[in-house]
Amino acid sequence: MPVDSDSHKCLNRRMAIRVVQWATGGVGKAAIEAVLAHPDLELVGTWVHSDAKHGKDVGEILGIEPVGVAATTSQEEILALDADCVVYSPLLPNEAEVVALLRSGKDVVTPVGWIYPDLAACGAILEACEEGGTTLHGTGIHPGGITERFPLMVSALSASVTHVRAEEFSDLRTYNAPDVVRHIMGFGVGPEEAMAGPIVGLLGAGFKASVRMIVAEMGFDADPELVTEQEVAVATAPIECPVGVIEPGQVAARRFHWRAVVDGVPVVTASVNWLMGEEHLEPAWDFGPTGERFEVEISGDPDVLLTFKGLQPETIEEGLIRNPGIVVTANHCVSAIPYVVAAEPGIKTYLDLPLLAGRAAPHLGTGRRR
């Protein structure tokens, strides 16, 4: 029988929300830190992929003091755990895992999908939500915030909107995930191999959903099929980066665009610019005078431009240790947890949830909200 969703949600108004972290890569570690600092949340479990991490205190995995929670490679152990919500952050999503978590009575917040899904294709997840009395929410930063949540918010300041743009400009030398950067993102390989690689499809699943959310909510009469574009720039000299040395002729910068169009004119655009530095590139791309950033631009009456700084590290060295872009992705997930736990069962997007807010630092706060 389905879980009594009212009792499930009311329970969490009376006590700390019990949270599980699924996977302890960069986002997972940052999410654990955010959970530990959040007055409404309690970490009660952590799933890890590596046998080497199994049984270790989560604090040891993070390089901090013990937290009293042991990591486990057992999915069955996590499913049986008495918990309210899971921050699900593997490298790639597995729908069967999400279905199992939801069916077990645990809400799921994730940065790896379901930002604005086609509900007609989500039958198994919706059934699991009904059975478990649970909620699924996709979030993150880009996509998962910069690309849809903030453009929709800023668009309210303008009238007669003609174009919405969300764009990232980042130096990928600060992303310390060599296998991902080379084999998935397609850096350090030839242009043809990069253009045919998996990244455009993996990115497209999220960014297309973001564009469609804006199209639907703002009422653009856009073509149902989005225009996808990608470009590459190659190194003209050896470039040191997390994948090793990118040699001349290998891909050292990438651009992606997803556009919704009306009568052939773009009305919503989501773009990514990833560069291994601004030197030694052909074509000679750069970040422009304002440097690394995220931008949200609304063309209308009046035009509005919002620039996000601080989501990229000040130096490459800082980024390799703790990248703010990874941290904010995790924080956005963790900040959503109380609102997701309070929501009705089902798949909930930004359009379904109230305003999300972070929490005061522990030494400045009043304690757990009631």
How do residues 140-188 score in pLDDT, each as one tens digit? 999 999 999 999 999 999 999 999 999 999 999 998 888 889 989 999 9
Looking at the structure, do residues 184 and 201 belong to the same domain, yes or no? yes
Looking at the structure, do residues 56 and 191 belong to the same domain, yes or no? no
Looking at the structure, do residues 278 and 242 belong to the same domain, yes or no? yes
Does 357 map to a domain? no
Kindly report, residue by residue over 224-253, the tens digit of the pLDDT.
899 999 999 999 999 999 889 999 999 999
pTM of the model: 0.92
Does 317 map to a domain? no
Does 356 map to a domain? no
Looking at the structure, do residues 167 and 118 belong to the same domain, yes or no? no
Looking at the structure, do residues 126 and 222 belong to the same domain, yes or no? no
Are the CB atoms for 258 and 227 separated by under 8 Å? yes
Does 359 map to a domain? no
pLDDT score for 369? 57
Does 362 map to a domain? no
Q: Return the sign of the alpha-carbon dihedral for residues 357, 346, 296, 334.
A: positive
Looking at the structure, do residues 160 and 291 belong to the same domain, yes or no? yes
183 Rama sector, left if φ>0, alpha if ψ -120 to 50, beta otherwise: alpha
Does 321 map to a domain? no
Looking at the structure, do residues 32 and 154 belong to the same domain, yes or no? no
Structural domains counted in the chain: 2
Q: For 101, how many CA atoms within 13 A lie in the half-sphere containing its CB?
A: 30
Looking at the structure, do residues 124 and 165 belong to the same domain, yes or no? no
Looking at the structure, do residues 156 and 116 belong to the same domain, yes or no? no
- pLDDT < 50 positions in the chain: 1-7, 10-13, 370
Looking at the structure, do residues 245 and 203 belong to the same domain, yes or no? yes
Are the CB atoms for 230 and 255 separated by under 8 Å? yes
| Range of the structural domain that residue 52 is part of | 5-141+327-347
Looking at the structure, do residues 112 and 227 belong to the same domain, yes or no? no
Looking at the structure, do residues 93 and 157 belong to the same domain, yes or no? no
